[in-house]
Amino acid sequence: MNERQKLVQAINQETGLDIDKIDELIEIPPQPTLGDYAFPCFVLAKTLRKAPAAIAAELAVKLGRQLTDFERVESVGGYLNFFISRSSFITSTIMDVRARGAKFGSAEAPTADPVIIEYSSPNIAKPFHVGHAFTTILGHSLARIYKHLGYNVVRMNHLGDYGTQFGKLIVAYEMWGDETALQAEPIKELLRIYVKFHTEAEKDPELEVQARERFRRLEAGEAAEEALWTRFRDLSLKEFSEVYERLGVSFDNYNGESFYSNQIPAVVDLLTEKGLLESSEGAQVVRLDEFNLPPCIILKSDGTTIYASRDIAAVLYRYQQWHFAKNIYVVGTPQALHFRQVFAVLKKAGFDFADDCVHVGFGLVRFADRKLSTRSGDVIYLQDLLQEAVDKTHEVIRANAAARSLDLTEEKMSEIAEKVGIGAVTYTFLKNSRERDIVFSYEEMLDFEGDSAPYVLYTYARGRSILRKAAAEPGYSIEVSEAALLRLDTDEEFAIAKLIESFPQSVVKAAQTYEPFMVVRQITQLARAFNKFYHNEPVLSTADPELRQARLALVDAVCDVLYIGMELAGINPVEQM
Ligand code: ARG
C-alpha cells in the first residue's frame, strides 16, 4: 500500500466515509507548507453536526496516532494537512512500481465492464486527412487507457461506406476510371473521378439521374454495383491500413455505415410502435422539443435513410451485442448536435443506455509556420504529415549523432526516426485538452528540450542507458533492500516519487474525462523531474554502494512509468537515441 492508500484507509476507518469519495476529496496542496495531502472536512459537518474546524482538529489527533509513518497531521480551519515522511514515501512508491510492473497504474480489481470506443471512422474513397488523425490517435489512446484500467474494450471503426456518393463513384468509374491508377493509389484515383463527376454533372444533369439509379441498385443488392462498391471499400481500407500500421493502431470491428442499412426498417418500426415518428414536409422525424433540440430526421422525403438513422441502428446493435457500460464516440466537435439528437431519440424511446453514450469531441487542426506539401486542394493527407515529421526527425538525429559522435548506422537512424517522428505527431495531438485547436509547428514538435515526444523519449532512453551500463557490471543485481531505499530523501528524489505515486490517479482521471493529455502531461513532468535529478545527483558514480543501488532502483521505476505512460498515449518507446 502506498502513502495515499494508507491515508484513504485511515480516514475511512475514522469517519466511515466511502473510500472512493475520500479519494476524490483528497487534494494536493499548492504549497508544501500546507503538507503533501489535504482533506477538507466540510462534507462531514452535516452528519457529525459539528463545525468543520472542530472535526478537523479532532481527526488530526486521531489520524496522527494511526498514521505512524507520516511525519505529522495538522488541522487548519476545516482542513486536515498531512505531512508524509519523505523516505518512507519514496520507498513505498518504488516498491509499489516494482511489485506491479507493467500493471502499475491499472486497477487492482478490474471490472471487465464492456466499453465500446469508436474512433477513426474515415470515409471510403476519401482522403485520410489530419482530422481523422485526431480521432484515430485520441481514440487509440483512450482504448489503451480503458484497457489498462481493466475494462473489456471493443475498438470500433464506423467506416463511412454508405450513401449516394457511391452511385456517383460507380458511374464515374465506368466512364473515366483508370485501372492502373486505381491499383497504385486508389484513394487518389477515386477522388479524381469523384471530382470529375461533379464538374461533368454540372454540364450534364443526366449523370445525377444515373448515379441515383446506380445507388438504388446497390441498395437492392445488385451484383455489378455491389462488386464495384466492395472493390472501392477494400482498396480504400488497404490504404487506411498503411496509416494504421504506421501509427500502431488497430480495431476489433470494422462495421461501417453500410452494415446497419438493412437494420433501418426495424428502427422505423420501433419508433412507429412507440408513436414517436411524425411526418414533416414529407420526411419522417422524431420531435425533440423537450430536449431543446431540432427534430431528428429518420427517413427523408424520398424514403432514403440518413446518417442519423444508421447511427441509431448502430447503437441498438451495439447494445444487443455487447451490453456496453459505455459507448464512446470519438468524433469532431462539429458533430456534437448530431450525437445529442441521436442520444435524445434513444432516451425518448425509453432506452436507459442512452445515458451511457458519450460523444467525445475535439478541436481543429491548424498549421503554424509553413504550408504543408499537399497533393490536392487544401486537404492535408496524414501520410504526408507523418512522412515530413519522420524526415525532419531523421535530420535532427543525424546531426545529434554527429555532434555526440554516436555510432549509429543509417538503418538504425531510420528506425529511430520513424518511431520518434510518429511519436512527435502523436504527442502533438495529445498534449493539450482535446477541445482545444491544435496548431502544428515542427519547431515545437521536434524540440528536444520542450514539451514534446522527443524530450520524453530521450529521457527514457537516457534512463535505460544508465541501467544498461549498471547491468553490464560484473556481479550486478537489480535487487534492492528496503533499508537502501530509505536512504533516498533529496528534493529531487521526492519530486520524482510524488509524480510516480500520482500517476495512477492521472490515468483514472484521463479515463473519466476522456482526456489522454492528463497522462501525457504526467509523464512529461516526470521526465523533467528525472532530468533535474540526473543533473544534480550522481547515479552511476555514487560512491556509497547502498545509495547507488537505491538510485538505480529509482531510475528503473522512472523508466517503467515513462514506458507505461508512452504506451497509453500510443507513443512507441526507443531504447536508444
Ligand atoms: N465518417 C464520418 C466522418 O468522417 C465520421 C463518423 C462518426 N461516427 C458516427 N458513428 N457517426 O466525418
pLDDT in tens, 412-421: 999 999 999 9
Q: Is the pLDDT of residue 535 over 80?
A: yes
Most informative mutation of 263, 331, 339, 359 for ligand 1 (most atoms within 8 A of CB) = 331
Alpha-carbon distance 396 to 398, whole Å?
A: 5
φ/ψ of residue 358, rounded to 5: -130, 130
Closest CA to 558 of 545, 537, 148: 537
pLDDT tens profile 124-161? 999 898 889 999 999 999 999 999 999 999 999 999 99
Residues 394-417: b if buried by 16+ CB within 10 A, e if exposed: bebbeebbeeeeeebeeeebeebb
Q: Indicate which residues carry an active-site annotation.
A: 126, 129, 132
Closest CA to 288 of 364, 343, 366: 343
Query: What angle (nearest 5°) sits at the alpha carbon of residue 447, between those of residues 524 and 444?
Result: 90
How confident is the model at residue 300, as a pLDDT? Answer: 85
Which residues approach ligand 1 with their CB closer than 6 A?
118, 121-123, 158, 160, 311, 329, 331
Q: How confident is the model at residue 375 (pLDDT cuts 50, 70, 90)?
A: very low
**Rounded-to-integer distance, Cα 335 and Cα 315, Å:** 16
The pLDDT tens digits of the residues spanning 89-109 come to 999 999 999 999 999 999 877
pTM given for the model: 0.91
The residue that leads in pLDDT, 403 or 533, is 533
Which residue type, as a one-letter code, is found at position 404? R
Whether pLDDT at 184 is above 50: yes
pLDDT, one tens digit per residue, over 11-46 is: 999 999 999 999 999 999 988 889 999 999 999 998
Q: What percent of the chain has pLDDT above 90?
A: 82
CA 121 to centroid of ligand 1, rounded, Å: 5
Q: What single-letter amino acid sits at 566?
A: M
Return the residue matching grid coordinates 431543446: 292
Residue nearest to atom 5 of ligand 1 (CA): 121
550 pLDDT above the threshold of 80: yes
Pocket perturbation via mutation, ligand 1, pick of 116, 120, 121 by most ligand atoms within 8 A of CB: 121
- Measure the CA–CA gap between 23 and 166, rounded to whole angstroms: 53
The residue whose CA has the least distance to atom 1 of ligand 1 is 160
- One-letter amino acid at 135 equals T
Sign of CA dihedral 28, 31, 35, 39: negative
* pLDDT: which is higher, 119 or 71: 119
Q: Which of 140-149, 180-189, 319-328, 565-574 has the lowest mean pLDDT?
A: 180-189
Nearest-angstrom CA–CA distance, 425 and 454: 10
How many angstroms separate the alpha carbon of residue 219 from the centre of ligand 1?
Answer: 20
Please check whether residue 151 is in contact with residue 107, taking contact to mean a CB–CB distance below 8 angstroms: no
What is the model's pLDDT at position 349? 97
